[in-house]
Amino acid sequence: MKNLLYPILLAVLSTMIFFSCGGKTTSAEVSQTNPEKTDLLELARENFESLDLTKRPDKDHPKVVLGKVLFFDPQLSETGEVSCNSCHDLKKFGVDNKPLSKGIKGHMTQRNSPTILNTSGQVAQFWDGRSATLREQVRMPIMNLTEMGMTEAMLVDRLKKSPDYQKRFELAFPGEEILIENMADAIASFIESEVYHSKFDKFLLGQVNLSKVELKGMQVFIEKGCTDCHDGALFGGDDFEKFGLFQDYWAMTKSHKPDSGRFLITGDPDDLYVFKIPTLRNIDKTQPYFHDGSVRDLKEAVKVMGKVQLNVDLSNDETEAIVQFLATLTGDHSTI
């Protein structure tokens, strides 16, 4: 009887071991089953990087918790009607999906509100790069007369009068006064905690595969030269570029009027129509596109970029593949 049971038990155990190891497809397994996909994985790793989550602040840290409360608080605006989240809605991946955003008293912003997600570590902030750091950027809309309309004195006074904020600031910044600098540090820390991996990050790490059309889109994206501006971990955000290298952008986007871009900040003729290169992470969720929100459809935006920046006429199939690839850059956000 023992002689009969032994081979049966051995077979059962072998089967259990086989299935228990079959959860994730590793890079080595992909190599054995599909060498072409391995080549594409290596191509991806040559051009892009996964986000480093080890640098993400602890969401339970008192400074991050304070920053989250401040981010959603409309009392940071003069009229109590606009919060940071009003224009950078985290449920909408850090934007409001409007061409222009509404500030206090019905005032409208001059440019489209870019996503605040994955902004830390970029070359600068705002479309024209007028702010060098995220902590500096956080303060500017709050102090802008038409966006949130506060002065430093008004804001500090309002925060100091709140028993809740007194406790929260003491926890986040023990022994320090309530200062604008601390407020900005807290909000920036919260924004920096909102970083998540996407399907493409998992692909780079060898944890999942991309579909055939997603892989084709990545190939087209690289081969057509999109990675000249959109590469690395953020797929952009690390430099400035003229919008309209091969033709006037407003002719393609049907913008109401040309925007001189960074030239308005520097006065340098070389900066005419120059803007910060935006990150493409979460791009399929952050429409409308470009500094003026002039294009709502991602396929159209991809074709505009091909023609205006690369002098390339992308086919419908190429455009669809690129859009499918870009969708893999959407993070697994679960903030609210």
Say yes or no to pLDDT of 25 above 60.
no
Tokens standing for 222? 């690289």
Give 230-272 pLDDT, tens digit per residue. Answer: 999 999 999 999 999 999 999 999 998 999 999 999 999 999 9
Give the confidence band of 10 by pLDDT, cuts at 50, 70, 90. Answer: very low
Q: CA torsion angle for 317, 321, 326, 329 (degrees, to 10)?
A: 170
Say yes or no to pLDDT of 8 above 90.
no
- Which of the following is catalytic: 78, 147, 192, 318? 147
Give 184-215 pLDDT, tens digit per residue. Answer: 999 999 999 999 999 999 999 999 999 999 99
Work out whether the CA dihedral 319, 325, 326, 332 comes out positive or negative.
Answer: positive
CB 187 within 8 A of CB 173: no
Say yes or no to pLDDT of 31 above 80.
no
Confidence (pLDDT) at 281: 98
pTM recorded for the entire structure: 0.88
Mean pLDDT of 8-25: 39
- Taking the C-alpha atoms of residue 57 and residue 185, their distance in angstroms, rounded to an integer, is 12
Confidence (pLDDT) at 334: 61
Confidence (pLDDT) at 29: 38
> Judging by DSSP bridges, how do beta strands 274-276 and 240-242 pair with one another?
antiparallel
Give the confidence band of 35 by pLDDT, cuts at 50, 70, 90. Answer: low
CB 31 within 8 A of CB 38: yes
DSSP letter string over 25-37? --HHHHHHH-HHH
Mean pLDDT of 157-168: 98
**DSSP label at residue 232:** B
Q: Is 81 a catalytic residue?
A: no
Say yes or no to pLDDT of 170 above 80.
yes
Q: What is the mean pLDDT of the chain?
A: 91
Mean pLDDT of 11-40: 48
Give 65-114 pLDDT, tens digit per residue. Answer: 999 999 999 999 999 999 999 999 999 999 999 999 999 999 999 999 99
Say yes or no to pLDDT of 305 above 60.
yes
Buried b (16+ CB within 10 A) or exposed e, 103-125: bbeeeebebbbbbbbbbbbbebb
